[in-house]
Amino acid sequence: MKNKRSMLLGPLALASAAIIAVGCCSNTVTPTTTLQNFSAAAKFAYAANENSNDISGYTVDNSTGALMELTASPFPGPSGPRQAVVEPMGKYLYVANGGTNGVSGFAINSTTGALSPIGGSPFAGGSSPRGITVDCCGRFVYTADRGGNSVSGYVINAGTGALTPISGSPFLLGTPTEENYGPQQLTVSPSGRFLYVSNHLTGDISAFTIDAGTGALKLVSGAPFSDQPTPSASIQPFALAVSPSEKFLYVTNHGTSTLSVYRIDGMSGALTAISASPFQIPPPGECNANPFGAAISPNGQFLFVGDNGCDAVSVYSLDPNTGAPAMTPNSPFPVNAGDCFAGVNEVNLDPAGRFLYVANMNCGSLSAFSVDAASGDLTELSSSPVNADNGPYGVAIARFPQ
């Protein structure tokens, strides 16, 4: 029997991204590599292709945002790869092994972008991980383990990229512990103090504090949280995005075509739904938005949501005081993936917030857009879309120190 859940009811600039990156580690621990003079420009992009078990790699043109596939792409990957993430220094790519267990790790050649397996990879961990994230200092990796009904944590060896389990991993998502939460995705807050998990099968959000020294997780009192009196599987929360100010958490709800917004307690990490949450995502035409991916601009002004059911991206301006989202006047923006239904999955911004990349899972391609700094409006690049392999799940961006 399920216990009753707690219900707690400007222009974009390169400097903004750099400031966020530096502030991240200054509040926690000394990073393995300094983030001083860190470039906010993207250099490479990668897409884990779930259905072809490989990884597509691209160079990123810093002036235009255009993607060009690497000569050796695609690279061999794990079975059923899901989400992928690059640690902040751009040295290593990590992929959630959705078809098996644990994490696959790859070293990134800083000149060519080529991937080579890290020694010891794949690294044992939780069963059927869906989401993966890395803390802002590049010290810890976490996965949302759908099969294990938990979160696995790993320590990154800065010299080799190898992963070792964090003491106490895996970490349970709430009480009762036998509940089938169905963790989907997860994210670490900008300061590196909190971690949040979308529970796809229970319709709520688990929250943890992160030990700055060890990476160990501790469930926040009252978790999991919801903006509904009775959370359920029909909500299907998916992507999560924390505002750069660390005041608000945004969650896309695939099942109800809504957007949940929570205020984050700066001391405990606990969540309280803001007034009027959840917000309905207006569909373009007669389709249902069924949102998946979400990304916030580096200055916290705009939220970008991938509307899987409509082949579009919705853009919201965000109130810095209340966190409330308001759809921008020209939104949503169509995703043109050619002669097929794109199946928009994850979306991701380059570190400076100038370009948005969309994984078209059904079409085997990636779409790229420029972002208007003042309005958040999207303009598709003339080179878009570019080919991926079969079933790209998302787009991971690599950048490097100057």
**Residue 240 backbone zone (phi > 0: left; psi -120 to 50: alpha; other: beta):** beta
Beta strands, E only, 146-231: 150-156, 163-165, 171-172, 183-188, 194-199, 204-210, 217-219
- Would 4 be classed as within a structural domain? no
Alpha carbon separation from 374 to 17, 39, 48, 321 (Å, rounded): 16, 22, 32, 19
- Would 358 be classed as within a structural domain? yes
Query: Rounded CA gap, 378 and 369, in Å?
Result: 6
Give the model's confidence band at 342: pLDDT under 50 very low, under 70 low, under 90 confident, else very high: confident
For range 333-343, the mean pLDDT: 82
Give the model's confidence band at 10: pLDDT under 50 very low, under 70 low, under 90 confident, else very high: very low
Give the model's confidence band at 41: pLDDT under 50 very low, under 70 low, under 90 confident, else very high: confident
Q: Count up the domains in the chain and report the number.
A: 1
Query: Rounded CA gap, 221 and 206, in Å?
Result: 10
For range 44-48, the mean pLDDT: 97
- Would 30 be classed as within a structural domain? yes
Query: Rounded CA gap, 364 and 52, in Å?
Result: 10
> Residue 23: is its pLDDT beyond 80?
no
- Would 144 be classed as within a structural domain? yes
pTM here? 0.91
pLDDT the model gives residue 4: 36
pLDDT the model gives residue 21: 37
Average pLDDT value over all residues in the chain: 89
- Would 146 be classed as within a structural domain? yes
- Would 3 be classed as within a structural domain? no
Range of the domain at 190: 14-401
pLDDT the model gives residue 400: 74
* CB-CB contact of 305 with 344 (8 Å): no
Buried b (16+ CB within 10 A) or exposed e, 355-377: bbbbbbbbbbbbbbbbbbbeebb
Query: Rounded CA gap, 198 and 240, in Å?
Result: 7
- Residue 130 corresponds to which amino acid? R
* Tens-digit pLDDT profile for residues 105-114: 999 999 999 9
- Would 9 be classed as within a structural domain? no
What percentage of the chain's residues is helix, strand, coil (to nearest 5)? 5, 45, 50
Residues 6+ apart with CB under 8 A from 179: 2, 149, 173, 202
For residue 35, what are its two tokens? 């983030």
Helices (H), 244-316: none
Residue 47 is part of a domain; what is its CATH number?
2.130.10.10
* Tens-digit pLDDT profile for residues 67-113: 999 999 999 999 999 999 999 999 999 999 988 889 999 999 999 99
- Would 68 be classed as within a structural domain? yes
pLDDT the model gives residue 284: 72
